[in-house]
C-alpha cells in the first residue's frame, strides 16, 4: 500500500493505520514464528540444546553462566564448533581464535569458582571486525598487506574483555571497509546466511553473517557510511550507529576523520543496549571526537517506553542514486502504522537533503588512503585500494580538508532543523533486500564505487552529520530475505532510539526466524 493511502494532508489516517498494523502483525507471525523459553542445561550436549544457546540473547547467556547452568568453557566450545561447521559456508572469519578463546573461557570459569565479581558479559562469546586490534592477532583490515600482530587490544575490545566477554575471532570486511560489500581479493566473498547466493553488504559483513547465523550472539562493527546498518539490514539484525564520539576509537584518534564510529550488531535491542553501556566513553588524551554524556543508561532505555513521539516517515533517498523497492517501502509504511497504533504521532516528512559529495567524498577517499600507508606490505594492497589512494591525492592537504569541513557544516546546518519538527525520522536502510553476492568481482575502483553508492543512499548522510541511526528489521520479502528500516534521531539521541527500537521489537518481534545456514 502506498504511503499516501495511509495519510490525510500529511497525517496518518488512524483506521487505515490500524489495518496496516494488523497486516504487519500477521506477516511477522507468519515469518518469525514463536520463541521459547530457554531450558536449563549443563552443557550443549545435543542439537536442541545447541540451537537454544546459539540463538539466545547475550543477556540470557550471561545469566546462565552466572547461575552456573552452563560454563564459559561450554559456551566457547559450542560457538567455536558452530564456527568450524558453518563458518566455511559463510566465509565470515579471517581468524578463529580457538586456543585463545578456550583459554580465556577457562580463566573466567576459574574466576567464578574463586567467587570473584563477574562482569555483565561474563562468559559471553563475541566477534570482532578485523579493523579493531585484538592483542596477539594480526589486524588485517580485510586484506593481505598487514602481518604484525597487535601489541594490545583496542579500547572497545579491552572494555568487552573487562566485562567478561570471550573473543572468538576476527571477522571479514572489504579492504579498509571502503566498499558496501564484504568481498576482498584475499578473503573472498562473505555470504548471507539467509541465502548464500546473496551479499551480506558491508563493511561489517563478517560480523553480520556470524551473528545472524548464531555463531556469536553479538559482534563489533564499524560504520563510516552505513557499515553497521547496511549489513544489519541485509542479515536481519539490529544495528545502531552511535553518535560520533560515543565509543572510543583508541588507539586511533578517530576513524575516517568525522565519519567513522565503532558499534554493535546484534539479534536483539537489549544486547546492543548492554554493549553500549559497557563500551561508551572516551579514552582521555586520545579521542578527537567526544560525544556529550547521556542522562541515563542504554539498558534502562531499552526497558522504558519512549512515550509519544513525533515520527516522520520518508522514503526519499538522500541522493539520485537511491531507489527503494516496493517490499521495503510497504514494510516501512506498515511500521508507521504500528507506531501510530502505539500512540505516536506519525506523519509524512521529507528532510531537505543537500548534496553531500563535497563533505563525504574527500574524507571517504583520504581516510582509507592514509590507513593504507601504514601497511606492512604495501605491494599486497588491492588494486582498487591503490587506485583510491591516487584519487585521494588532490584532497590530502589542509586546504582541501578545510573545504570538506566547511561543506560538512553546511550539510549539518541544512539538515538539523528537520528535527525541530520530528523526534525521530524513519527511512529505508537499504534500497531493498540483499543483492546478489559477487558485486565487486572484476571491478576496479570506479566500478566498485558505482556499485557501492546506491546501497548507501539512505545511510551515509548521517555519518556526515554524526547523528545516531539504527537499522531495525521490518519483516521479510516474499523470497524470505530480511527487510529493514532506519531510525534516525537528533544529535545524542541514542537512548530515545533504543527505547523506540525496543518498543518496536516487542510489538513485532523478529528474532524467532532463523536463517537457512544456522
Half-sphere exposure of 496 (CA within 13 A, CB side): 20
**Cβ neighbours of residue 444 under 8 Å, at least 6 residues apart?**
383, 384, 387
Active site residue 479: no
Is residue 266 annotated as a catalytic residue, yes or no? no
Q: Which of 203, 249, 493, 499 is catalytic?
A: 203
Could you give the angle at which helices 445-455 and 383-392 cross, rounded to 10 degrees? 80
Q: How far apart, in Å, are the Cα atoms of 475 and each of 24, 26, 239? A: 8, 10, 15
CA 411 → CA 260, 365, 421, 455, distances in Å? 17, 19, 18, 20
Tell me how far apart the alpha carbons of residues 387 and 237 are, in angstroms, rounded to a whole number.
Answer: 33
> Is 103 designated active site?
no
Q: What is residue 329's three-state secondary structure?
A: helix
Distance (Å, whole) CA 485 – CA 22: 18
The CA-atom distances, in angstroms, between 284 and each of 207, 242, 255, 262, 391 are 28, 19, 16, 17, 34
Q: Which of 71, 184, 227, 372 is catalytic?
A: 227
Rounded to an integer, what distance in angstroms lies between the CA atom of residue 492 and that of residue 470? 13
Q: How far lies 471's CA from each of 232, 303, 488, in Å?
A: 6, 19, 9
Q: Give the residue numbers annotated as catalytic, written as ranges.
A: 129, 203, 227
Amino acid at each position: 500500500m502506498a504511503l499516501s493511502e495511509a495519510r490525510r494532508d500529511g497525517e496518518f489516517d488512524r483506521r487505515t493505520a490500524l489495518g496496516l498494523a494488523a497486516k504487519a502483525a500477521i506477516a511477522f507471525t507468519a515469518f518469525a514464528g514463536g520463541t521459547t523459553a530457554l531450558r536449563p542445561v549443563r552443557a550443549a550436549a545435543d542439537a536442541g540444546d545447541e540451537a537454544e544457546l546459539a540463538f539466545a540473547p547475550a543477556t540470557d547467556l550471561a545469566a546462565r553462566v552466572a547461575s552456573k547452568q552452563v560454563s564459559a568453557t561450554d559456551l566457547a566450545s559450542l560457538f567455536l564448533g558452530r564456527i568450524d561447521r558453518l563458518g566455511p559456508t559463510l566465509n565470515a572469519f579471517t581468524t578463529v581464535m580457538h586456543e585463545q578463546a578456550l583459554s580465556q573461557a577457562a580463566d573466567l570459569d576459574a574466576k567464578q569458582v574463586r567467587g570473584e565479581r563477574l562482569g555483565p558479559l561474563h562468559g559471553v562469546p563475541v566477534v570482532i571486525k578485523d579493523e579493531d586490534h585484538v592483542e596477539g592477532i594480526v589486524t588485517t583490515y580485510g586484506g593481505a598487506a598487514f602481518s604484525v600482530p597487535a601489541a594490545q587490544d583496542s579500547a572497545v575490545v579491552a572494555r568487552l574483555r573487562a566485562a567478561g566477554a570471550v573473543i572468538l575471532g576476527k571477522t571479514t570486511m572489504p579492504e579498509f571497509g571502503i566498499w558496501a560489500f564484504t568481498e576482498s581479493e584475499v578473503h573472498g566473498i562473505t555470504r548471507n546466511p539467509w541465502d548464500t547466493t546473496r551479499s551480506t553488504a558491508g563493511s561489517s559483513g563478517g560480523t553480520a553473517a556470524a551473528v545472524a547465523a548464531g555463531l556469536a550472539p553479538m559482534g563489533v562493527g564499524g560504520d563510516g557510511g552505513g557499515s553497521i546498518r547496511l549489513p544489519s539490514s541485509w542479515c536481519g539484525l539490529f544495528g545502531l550507529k552511535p553518535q560520533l564520539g560515543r565509543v572510543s576509537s583508541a588507539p586511533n584518534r578517530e576513524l575516517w576523520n568525522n565519519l567513522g564510529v565503532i558499534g554493535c550488531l546484534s539479534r536483539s535491542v537489549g544486547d546492543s543496549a548492554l554493549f553500549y553501556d559497557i563500551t561508551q566513553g572516551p579514552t582521555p588524551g586520545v579521542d578527537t571526537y567526544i560525544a556529550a554524556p547521556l542522562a541515563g543508561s542504554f539498558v534502562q532505555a531499552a526497558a522504558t517506553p519512549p512515550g509519544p513521539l513525533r515520527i516522520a516517515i520518508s522514503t526519499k533517498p538522500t541522493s539520485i542514486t537511491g531507489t527503494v523497492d516496493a517490499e521495503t517501502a510497504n514494510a516501512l509504511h506498515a511500521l508507521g502504522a504500528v507506531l501510530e497504533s502505539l500512540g505516536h504521532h506519525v506523519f509524512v516528512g521529507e528532510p531537505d537533503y543537500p548534496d553531500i559529495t563535497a563533505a563525504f567524498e574527500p574524507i571517504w577517499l583520504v581516510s582509507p588512503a592514509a590507513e593504507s600507508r601504514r601497511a606492512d606490505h604495501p605491494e599486497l594492497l588491492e588494486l582498487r585500494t591503490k587506485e583510491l589512494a591516487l584519487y585521494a591525492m588532490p584532497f590530502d592537504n589542509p586546504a582541501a580538508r578545510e573545504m570538506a569541513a566547511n561543506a560538512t557544516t553546511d550539510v549539518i546546518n541544512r539538515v538539523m532543523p528537520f528535527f525541530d519538527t520530528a523526534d525521530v525520522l524513519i527511512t529505508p536502510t537499504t534500497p531493498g533486500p540483499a543483492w546478489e553476492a559477487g558485486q565487486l568481482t572484476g571491478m576496479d575502483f570506479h566500478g566498485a564505487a558505482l556499485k557501492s553508492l546506491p546501497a548507501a543512499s539512505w545511510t551515509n548522510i548521517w555519518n556526515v552529520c554524526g547523528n545516531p541511526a539504527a537499522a531495525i528489521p521490518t519483516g521479510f520479502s516474499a523470497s524470505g530475505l530480511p527487510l529493514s528500516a532506519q531510525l534516525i534521531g537528533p544529535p545524542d539521541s541514542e537512548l530515545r532510539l533504543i527505547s523506540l527500537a525496543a518498543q518496536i521489537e516487542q510489538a513485532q518481534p523478529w528474532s524467532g526466524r532463523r536463517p537457512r545456514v544456522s
